[in-house]
A and B are shown apart, each in its own frame.
Chain A
Amino acid sequence: GNSVTQMEGPVTLSEEAFLTINCTYTATGYPSLFWYVQYPGEGLQLLLKATKADDKGSNKGFEATYRKETTSFHLEKGSVQVSDSAVYFCALTIFINTGTASKLTFGTGTRLQVTL
């Protein structure tokens, strides 16, 4: 089956530090990959996505590159802010050519805490 593995948290960084959150996946077929962010007490927000190998998703200073050879989709940001403190989820989906969207498979999440 499909699965996503994320690095364990929490990750604690000082403001302006460099962030990397590792994500690797196992999938049958050709997945699309996502990073979602969840702020305290809220639902999930799509942060970025990549739908094919070597695609780079980017948003709000965050980046992740779809690496098929290493089955990875690591999240990076050059300079984190206190407002980036949240839980980050890596996820994948496999397109089913039946007219419906496939389910999302999530990792367990990585909590990021950024301090001044």
Chain B
Amino acid sequence: DAGVTQSPTHLIKTRGQQVTLRCSPKSGHDTVSWYQQALGQGPQFIFQYYEEEERQRGNFPDRFSGHQFPNYSSELNVNALLLGDSALYLCASSLAGTVYGYTFGSGTRLTVV
């Protein structure tokens, strides 16, 4: 049973560019959440998708957007990249209505230069 799959694993982008990160949830899960983990910090919630809609959003600017597809997979898009966007981006999947079924992927390490 595959867990959460994220791609790519590493990415280097230039300031001002746009980036798309991808996530496939664990089999049986229908909700995808995205987190940003800066170096030496705990993960910070970006947003959550369920039924192809953004359901909750953390304190992130509109440069951060997402999408969920009918097969429950998800994308995170970041526009106009800043140096401060350099971080590990984690995807977590879960089943709606549960409180402890989160499964995390290994993350995408984004470096903005």
Tell me if A108 and B41 are in contact (CB < 8 A).
yes
Q: A110 to chain B: closest CB distance in Å?
A: 10
Q: A44-B104, A100-B96 are in contact. Are A89 and B42 (CB under 8 A)?
A: yes
Q: Which of A19-57 contact B (CB under 8 A)?
A: 32, 34, 36, 42-46, 49, 51
Tell me if B107 and A43 are in contact (CB < 8 A).
yes
Tell me if A104 and B102 are in contact (CB < 8 A).
yes
| Inter-chain contact total with CB atoms closer than 8 Å | 76
Q: A54 to chain B: closest CB distance in Å?
A: 17
Contacts of A43 in B (CB 8 A): 4, 90, 104-107
Interface residues on A, range: 20 to 34
Q: How far apart sit A91 and B90, CA to CA, in the bound complex (Å)? A: 15
Tell me if B41 and A101 are in contact (CB < 8 A).
no
Beyond A101-B33, A101-B101, A108-B42, 16 extra complex contacts between A and B, CB < 8 Å: A42-B106, A43-B104, A44-B43, A44-B90, A89-B43, A93-B99, A98-B55, A100-B55, A100-B97, A101-B98, A101-B102, A103-B33, A103-B58, A104-B35, A104-B45, A109-B40
Of the A-B pairs whose beta carbons lie under 8 Å apart in the complex, a sample of 27, sorted by A's number, is A34-B100, A43-B90, A44-B43, A44-B90, A44-B92, A46-B100, A46-B103, A51-B100, A89-B43, A93-B99, A93-B100, A95-B99, A98-B55, A99-B50, A99-B96, A100-B56, A101-B96, A101-B97, A101-B99, A103-B45, A104-B33, A104-B45, A106-B42, A107-B42, A108-B42, A109-B40, A109-B41
Contact surface of A with B, Cβ cutoff 8 Å = 4, 32, 34, 36, 42-46, 49, 51, 89, 91, 93, 95, 98-109
